[in-house]
Amino acid sequence: MPPVAVVSDTTHYLPRQLVEAAGITLVSLYVNFDGARTEREGSMTDFDGFYDEMRGSTDRLPTTSQPSVGDFVTAYEPLLADGRDVVSIHLSEGLSGTCDSARQAADALTQEGKGGERVRVIDSASACGGFGMMVLAAARSAATGADLESVVEHARRAREESKMWFAVDTLEYLKRGGRIGGVSAWVGSTLKIKPILTVESEIRPVERVRTSARAFERLVDYARQRHASRADAWVVQHIQAPDQAELLIERCREIFEREPLFVSEVGPVIGAHIGPGLLGVGSLPERYLV
């Protein structure tokens, strides 16, 4: 058993089999449905049903909430009791209070003499695929037997060298959900635009194009740039856009001449703020995963 355990939340949307193979412990965020019910994202499997419900909502969108301190204590306590150190990597603090809950849990376990001082909480300053690549890099470092600070440093370097871009159909969901971040200057434009965004602590604009076809080709251009930079461990993510995702995968196979690190659909916590129609691509140098 590696001396360092990696903990993350659910908002990277790594395929479950990849999470299990890497030995990553997940702590789920929550989705709240107009006060009627609350569900753990990690237990939600019907993404289509969720997004169909979003489309049908004319007034209030589902809301999201971070894990509780107790959720993190439950995750950390058995790992620490086994004598392992913990690297806990989470959704950007610019988007969520998840890191704060994790730190409070580590502090509580320290005060109780249960090893909380052996937990390092890291803000990924990212979400979705960018976050996921950082978590996989940390897990790979841990699997080699690296110590706590070495795993932390490896994860942080991987984050610095990873990139992820997303094309979205509309800014309407971001506007309604209040997570508009640095894209606020584009809201209210009379132009029909297809925004391309990234996450660098908060959601930031990259460029705006006029058609979905142009947005797709720009994502392909970004993939070419990453290949030219020798960042060849690549990923594709989408929200209810499987056909476009498959086309993007085909183009990226031609560019990178290898299979993707992973392909996945973005789930309800991030989807509640972005809405259906997202398509994304990103990569990091393969050396962080070997």
Report the pLDDT value the prediction gives residue 181, as an integer from 0 to 100. Answer: 58
Q: Report whether 147 contacts 264 (CB < 8 A).
A: no
Decide the pairing of beta strands 4-9 and 25-27: parallel
Q: Where in the chain is the domain with CATH 3.40.50.10170?
A: 4-161
**DSSP for 210-227?**
SSHHHHHHHHHHHHHHHH
Residue 208 has, within 13 A of its CA and on its CB side, a CA count of 17
Q: Where in the chain is the domain with CATH 3.30.1180.10?
A: 163-289
The fold adopted by the segment(s) 4-161 is Rossmann fold (3.40.50)
Helical packing angle, 242-256 and 212-228, nearest 10°:
30
Helical packing angle, 69-81 and 98-111, nearest 10°:
50
Report the pLDDT value the prediction gives residue 190, as an integer from 0 to 100. Answer: 44
Q: Is 60 exposed, middle or buried (0-12, 13-18, 19+ CB in 10 A)?
A: exposed
Report the pLDDT value the prediction gives residue 175, as an integer from 0 to 100. Answer: 74
pTM score, whole prediction: 0.94
Provide the residue-wise pLDDT of the chain in tens; the chain has 290 residues. 899 999 999 999 999 999 999 999 999 999 998 777 899 999 998 899 899 888 877 677 889 999 999 999 999 999 999 999 999 999 999 999 999 999 999 999 999 999 999 999 999 999 999 999 999 999 999 999 999 999 999 999 999 999 999 999 888 787 765 555 555 555 555 456 788 999 999 888 899 898 999 999 999 999 999 999 999 999 999 999 999 999 999 999 999 999 999 999 999 999 998 889 999 999 999 999 99
Report the pLDDT value the prediction gives residue 194, as an integer from 0 to 100. Answer: 85
Arch. (CATH architecture) of 163-289 = 2-Layer Sandwich (3.30)
